[in-house]
Amino acid sequence: MKNNILAGLTVGIIALPLSMALAIATGVPPQLGLYTAIVAGIVAAIFGSSKINISGPTAAFVVILIPIVQEFGISGLLICGLLSGIILILVGVLKLGTLIELIPYPVTVGFTSGIAVVIATFQIKDFFGLTIESFSGHYLNKIYLIFTSFPSFKISELAVGLFTLFLLILWQKTKSKIPSALVSLSFTTIIVAFFNSYFPHINIATIASTFQYNIDGIQGSGIPPIPLQFSLPWSFFKPEDITLDLFYKLLPHSIAIAILGALESLLCAVISDGMTGNKTNPNKELIGQGIANIVVPFFGGIPATAAIARTVVNIKAGGTSKLASIVHSLFILCSIMLLSPYLSYLPMASLSALLLVVAWNMSEVKHFTNIIKVAPKNDVYVLLTCFSLTVLLDMQIAVAVGIGLASILFIKRTIDLYSIELVNTKLTVHPDIPENISIYDINGPMFFGAAQNALKTLLNTKEDIDVVILNMQNVTMIDMTAMVALKSIVDTFKSRNKKLIFSGLNERILRKLIKAKFTFDDINLKSFNNINDSIAYSKTII
């Protein structure tokens, strides 16, 4: 119990500034990130399968949430989170969690590397203290805004950012158990508070100078020292704006959040299981994440999922049970109530430096370059496509195309397992096979891609061939398209007065064919259990 409490406190120290930084990067007030960490950390731990995963706002979501905030505001974001939670529960209940794990590695690396690039790019504004009135639009538009705004950069903001970045990197190399974020941000915040107090003309941007709040008539700047409050996710919308059309517009965003959240949480589970030897139930874990994302919006939180970095810290700090995640959430809650005035002194440039480190850690640079060097060309194309779409266009498009490419890759590689081969000359058991009998070995699954190959091969059978034997003992499955193709072959052979014999069909496939009206009592179509019986019968009918 003691180890889990200490681990929870360690993770809480890291999650506190990171949650605020991620909320700011998303385009919402920093306290919403804190609310997310509090609620998701407790609810996901209670209802999920993993004992050690730590849930909350993650960097992976930043890219996909920014356009939602810009188009629909905070309420639109909260509703998307709620809908994504419902989708995650459905995925878990329908036991589709294992399908999420089938997404190829180049797709996930392309996503995460692209997200890292976008996050790092977006930090340039606060890191350099650039003056940009409306930081919106697609990636290239934002690059243009950053480039044209560089004359407005502030040397003081850059100095704070570089100093924080230097401390973060330097402290990590010491291998100290004290989190680098705690040391670097605390030290930098004290220095900035001193300069802002005694040299106000420098005016280094902080959370307090950037964000204001008005909650139940209480106004202030920075982080409100108010505990969680229940509110309806759609409360920022006017009643007349809440229409079915609004939900239709939000649904694609919600699906993208659910898919990305499922990928992130299951990837986190795989990593944590590998480090601890635990076994996470993927479907139960998705249900837990879904419940968390349904509850979080009612307390003003943004979408959440299991966070890999915080989970790894939890494991290394000695966390072994769900208590660690709950303690981490309670620590953040206490920090809001007791430390809000001090948290508001955090410099914006320092939070940008923290996110630059996060972006680098999630960039998968080594894996990205390794795939390009050693992977097959198709995998490289998929990687670069997912990466480019994530950066240049939209995360929704990247998710959709990525899933599509994953499906195409799977189908292609499954088709590659299929083969149809003429084996007359390779049979040593029956060397005396007449020349008017052809024997084909069919191996692997027969579905819509492979069926066309079989159809072309068999329809090109020479005219002087009277009997064709299909050795199908290594056929593992057959779908409707393949059955239609086989039916076409049967009908064509009948019209040419050729005989077709199926050999070695397993019982399941044979039942399927009989149900599909294949008449094996016809003289032109027969089925035998093995190749020997098929050859013996063929010799009697020619």
Packing angle, helices 377-392 and 139-149, rounded to 10: 60
Residue among 263, 267, 244 nearest 255 (CA): 263
Taking CB atoms within 8 Å and a gap of at least 24, the contacts of 274-281 are 275/312, 275/315, 276/52, 276/315, 276/320, 278/50, 278/51, 278/52, 280/49, 280/50, 280/53, 281/49, 281/97
Residues linked to residue 347 through DSSP beta bridges, in sequence order: 206
The structure tokens 């505001």 sit at 73
CA distances from 276 to 179, 267, 502 (A): 21, 14, 51
pTM for this predicted structure: 0.77
Low-confidence ranges of the chain (pLDDT < 70): 100-102, 216-217, 236-241, 395, 417-418, 424-431, 448-455, 459, 542
CA distances from 384 to 109, 115, 400 (A): 10, 13, 15
The pair of three-digit structure tokens given for residue 267, joined into one six-digit string: 């990837």
Tens-digit pLDDT profile for residues 249-281 = 899 899 989 988 988 888 888 788 877 878 888
DSSP class of residue 450 equals H
The structure tokens 């605020």 sit at 20
Residue 462, SS3 per DSSP: coil
Residue 117 is which amino acid?
V
The secondary structure of 239-280, three-state, reads HHHCCHHHHHHHHHHHHHHHHHHHHHHHHHHHHHHHHHCCCC
Helix (H) or strand (E) holding 48: none
Which CATH number applies to 419-540?
3.30.750.24
The pair of three-digit structure tokens given for residue 310, joined into one six-digit string: 């915080």
The structure tokens 């700090």 sit at 317
CA–CA separation, 199 vs 189, rounded Å?
Answer: 15
Residue among 167, 189, 202 nearest 339 (CA): 189
Domain locations along the chain: 2-364, 419-540
CA–CA separation, 323 vs 4, rounded Å?
Answer: 6
Write the DSSP assignment of 293-352 as a string of letters: HHHGGGGTPPP-EE-HHHHHHHHHTT--STHHHHHHHHHHHHHHHHHHHHHTT-BHHHHH
CA–CA separation, 304 vs 26, rounded Å?
Answer: 12
Residues linked to residue 441 through DSSP beta bridges, in sequence order: 421, 471
- The number of beta carbons lying within 10 Å of the beta carbon of residue 519 is 10
